[in-house]
Amino acid sequence: MLAHRMLAVGGFSHSPVVVVDRRVRGGHLDRIMTQSPHTPLAGCSDVTAAEAASGWCGQEHVLTSSNDPFIAWILFGIYPGNNQDVHVIIRTSEAPAAGVPQDAPFAQWFPLTAAKARRVLGPIAAIVLDGQAH
């Protein structure tokens, strides 16, 4: 059902990919990546997990519920040969905020999605959403 809803809605925007060391800020990402891939993070309505033959593995946690007027999820991916860095990307169908400059960060363009992502990202939210250094 979730995949159908994502395909039916279309028109998704995405954040820049941010690569974060899984050990920073108390190992928050490490806890995410080592918990059961079948358990959604707190505040998320669903999760999917995948592992490719290439060695890539990832988890997508859905940030929205059926009550929300848009769909948003966050992807955590690990590439082969480097299991310390996690690639984080956020995707959303939220309409961009009006009057935001073209060069504004993702969090300003999509404030509702960013607010939901901040809850999940916890101590690494500033790194992913605001460009703060590790």
- How far apart (Å, rounded) are the C-alpha atoms in residues 133 and 39? 29
| Six token digits for residue 38 | 């079948």
CATH number at residue 106: 3.30.2030
Split at pLDDT 50, 70, 90, the class of 1 is very low
Helix, strand or coil, per DSSP, at residue 86? strand
Task: For strands 57-62 and 82-92, give the pairing.
Answer: unpaired
Find the domain containing 83 and state its range.
2-130
- How far apart (Å, rounded) are the C-alpha atoms in residues 10 and 2? 12
Q: What's the structural domain count of the chain?
A: 1
Under DSSP, the state recorded for 55 is S
Whether 8 shows a pLDDT value over 80: the answer reads no
Whether 6 shows a pLDDT value over 90: the answer reads no
Whether 16 shows a pLDDT value over 70: the answer reads yes
| pLDDT given for residue 105 in this prediction | 92
| pLDDT given for residue 84 in this prediction | 95
Whether 114 shows a pLDDT value over 80: the answer reads yes
Dihedral sign, Cα of residue 105, residue 108, residue 110, residue 113? positive
When computed from its CA atoms, the radius of gyration of the chain, rounded to whole angstroms, is: 15
Whether 5 shows a pLDDT value over 70: the answer reads no
How far is the first Cα of the chain from the last one, in angstroms, to the nearest whole number? 37
- pLDDT tens for 58-84 read 999 999 998 999 999 999 999 999 999
Residue 20 near residue 29 (C-beta atoms within 8 A): yes
The DSSP element (H or E) to which 90 belongs, if any, is strand 82-92
User: Among 29-33, 36-40, 76-80, 86-90, whose mean pLDDT is lowest?
Assistant: 36-40
